[in-house]
Structures are given as C-alpha cells and as structure tokens.
Amino acid sequence: MVATSQATLAMHMSDGLVNAPTAVGFGLVAIVGLAIATQRARVDLDDRTAPMAGLVTAFVFAVQMINFPILPGASGHLLGGALVAILVGPWVGSLCIAIVLVVQAFLFADGGLTALGTNIVNMALVGVFAGHAVATAMRPLARRGRTGLLATAFVAALVNTVVAAAAFVLEYAIGGAGGASLATVAGLMIGLHLLIGIGEGLITAATVGAVAAARPDLVHLLRGRATPLEVRGAGEPA
Amino acid sequence: MNAPAGNRKAAGFFAGFLVIALLVAGGLSYFASSDPDGLDSVTLSGCDVVETDAGEQLEGACIAQNATDSAAAGSPLADYAIGGVEGTVGLAGVIGVIVTLAVAGGLFWFLRRRSAGD
C-alpha cells in the first residue's frame, strides 16, 4: 500500500506496525499493568509528592519533544523511564509515562491509538521497571554521594532505553507487520538505542542531580522503600 | 502538614520546575532535531522518502509502509503544530505541558493519601 509518511515529529509506534491480535494483546497487558500501578501508586502519593509527580509528568512531555542528533540522519529523544522511577517511584512513574503517551496519541497524533498498548508496555511499563531495577540495585552507591547518584541515574536510564527498544523487537517478533527481517530490526533497534541511551542517561543524570541538589526529599530513590505500614489516616487504628 | 515556610519553599521549587518544562516545550523545541528518531529510523530502513505532489511517499521495502494514519490525525494539534501551521511547535508544546500537568496532577492529587484534617 502507499503510505504517506507521518511527519518527522512522530516519535512513537504508529498504528499498523504490528498485527491486530498483537496490538490487542499488548493493549490488555497495558490495562492490567496500569491498573496494578494505580493501586500501588497510592502509597507513594501524598500532599508533597502528588504535585511533584504531576510536574515530573509535564517535564517528561516537554523533554520528549527535544530530539537530539545521534547519527547523521537519525535522532533520539528521552523516554523517561528511569527518570520517573528515580524521582517518583516505579508505580507512580508508570502512570506518568502512560499519561504522556495518552496525551501525545490523542492530542498530538504522536503514536497510533491502536498502538497505544504497545507504546505503554514498552515505555511506561518495561522501560520504567527496567530503570527502576537498575536504580534499586545501585541505590547503595546512589546514597553515598552526588557522583554515585549521577552514575546511578545515567546507567539506569541507558538500560531503560535499550530494554524498552528490546520490547519493540519482541512485539515485532510476535506479530510484526513485516517489511524488514527480525535480525535487522533487532540489530538496528538495539544499536541505535545504545546511542540514544547515552543521551537519555545524560538528561536523566542532569535532572535527578538538579532535583537532588534542591530538594533531596523529593527524590524517591533516596527516600528508600515506601512505607506501607504508615498510618493512612489519623482516625484509623495503627 | 508542612509549616507555612516549608510550603512556600515547596511552591517555589514546583514553580521553577514548571517554568523549566514550559521553556523546554515552548522554546527549546524549536531547536530539536527533525531527523527520524531511533524507532522511525528502523521502520524507515529500506525505504527512501520521496517528495511528491501528494506528500511524502515511501519507496522500497520497509516496516513504515504498514503504518496507517492515526485516528487522531485530524486533531488541531496533530504533529505538534497548531492547525498544521509551521512555526507553532512552541505554542503546541506549551499547551501540551499544561494539559499533561492538569491530567497528571489531577489524577495524582485524587489518588494521594489524605493527610489528617483533609
């Protein structure tokens, strides 16, 4: 078929890149994942962190607009998974990225509507939790000082970018519409996203570093585990 | 609850954060690379983008040939431009930041654990 290409500002998966069953299947995964995230996010949201999470979401939307060059003729942009996981935690963070993707898809026609499930799985679930896993593993280093925190943010972001790209490769392997061999897609996706991951790492480290310098109490990773046993309301028995 | 001084400090930090997001979306966006991103580079691999009277066409064999227009393609903000007008990416970005903040801030404020006295 003749495809009129979407403008170069499109940043996420368009409709039609995977077949309908695959799109529906990942749509269901996205719904279940976000439902769990909504439940688990509550414990990390209070009068201070809720506005922070709203602003982090708006910030990710803004920075995702900034495509930076990686190779002649190719660019990359922030995905934001590690950034949100470090600043507001993985459950709230998943919701942050999902909201960005929903606004982009419906308002800006960036990322297809039937592709929303795959885009949410790749960036809001897989990317966020890949970044969260690395950041959590490196937390002792992150707590030791500024250099450790910046290194943690950089590595977590680099990994989140590459793993999110790998999730697309998986979707293409399951139900790709065709047009390129799986080996080609895998090699190009991983290779390009290693480069993009360096940019993602630098942006994430700079942002986390700036927040930590001004308000270390608003960096979820430095606060440590959520405190699910905290009294939920003054009237409730502990 | 925070002391009023703590609230003012927090408000200042949050305001600064918002201003930075608005500056990035409203200003820095003009300097963004217009080359295809990583995913688009992969889906376009194997094709040449050819300018024709009917717009850009893809020649060759590539994943992007399977791409279909989004059902939201008619949105007045589609492709980060107001009504398709060139040079409006900054305003489109500012609108996007405000909408995103409203949706996310509203959801997270609704979901938050209520402190005593709320």
Residue with token string 């002649």: A72
The closest CB to that of A17, out of B67, B70, B79, belongs to B67
pLDDT of residue B87: 94
Which sequence spans correspond to the domains of chain B?
1-32+76-118, 34-67
- Residues from chain B contacting residue A193 (CB–CB below 8 Å): 38
Q: Is the dihedral of CA A94, A99, A102, A103 positive or negative?
A: negative
- Give mean pLDDT in consecutive 10-residue pieces for chain B, a chain of 118 residues: 66 96 98 95 93 86 94 95 94 98 98 76
Tell if the CB–CB gap between A192 and B62 is shorter than 8 Å. no
Half-sphere exposure of A56 (CA within 13 A, CB side): 34
Q: Does B91 touch chain A (CB under 8 A)?
A: no
Tell if the CB–CB gap between B21 and A165 is shorter than 8 Å. no
| Shortest Cα distance, chain A CAs vs residue B12, angstroms | 11
Residue of A nearest to B111 (CA): A42
- Residues from chain B contacting residue A215 (CB–CB below 8 Å): 10, 13
ipTM of model: 0.93
- Residues from chain A contacting residue B56 (CB–CB below 8 Å): 4-5
All domains of chain A in start order, with CATH: 20-223 (1.10.1760.20)
Tell if the CB–CB gap between A55 and B62 is shorter than 8 Å. no
Q: Are A222 and A143 in contact (CB under 8 A)?
A: yes
Report the distance separating Cα B69 and Cα A114, nearest Å. Answer: 11
Tell if the CB–CB gap between B113 and A45 is shorter than 8 Å. yes
Q: What is the pLDDT of residues B47-70, one digit of tens each?
A: 998 988 888 889 999 999 999 999
Report the distance separating Cα B97 and Cα A213, nearest Å. Answer: 24
Tell if the CB–CB gap between A180 and B99 is shorter than 8 Å. no
CA R_g for chain A: 18
- Per-residue pLDDT tens digits of chain A, which is 238 residues long: 333 444 446 789 999 999 999 999 999 999 999 999 999 999 999 999 999 999 999 999 999 999 999 999 999 999 999 999 999 999 999 999 999 999 999 999 999 999 999 999 999 999 999 999 999 999 999 999 999 999 999 999 999 999 999 999 999 999 999 999 999 999 999 999 999 999 999 999 999 999 999 999 999 999 855 444 444 444 444 4
Report the distance separating Cα A235 and Cα A231, nearest Å. Answer: 9
Tokens of residue B34, six digits: 């217009």
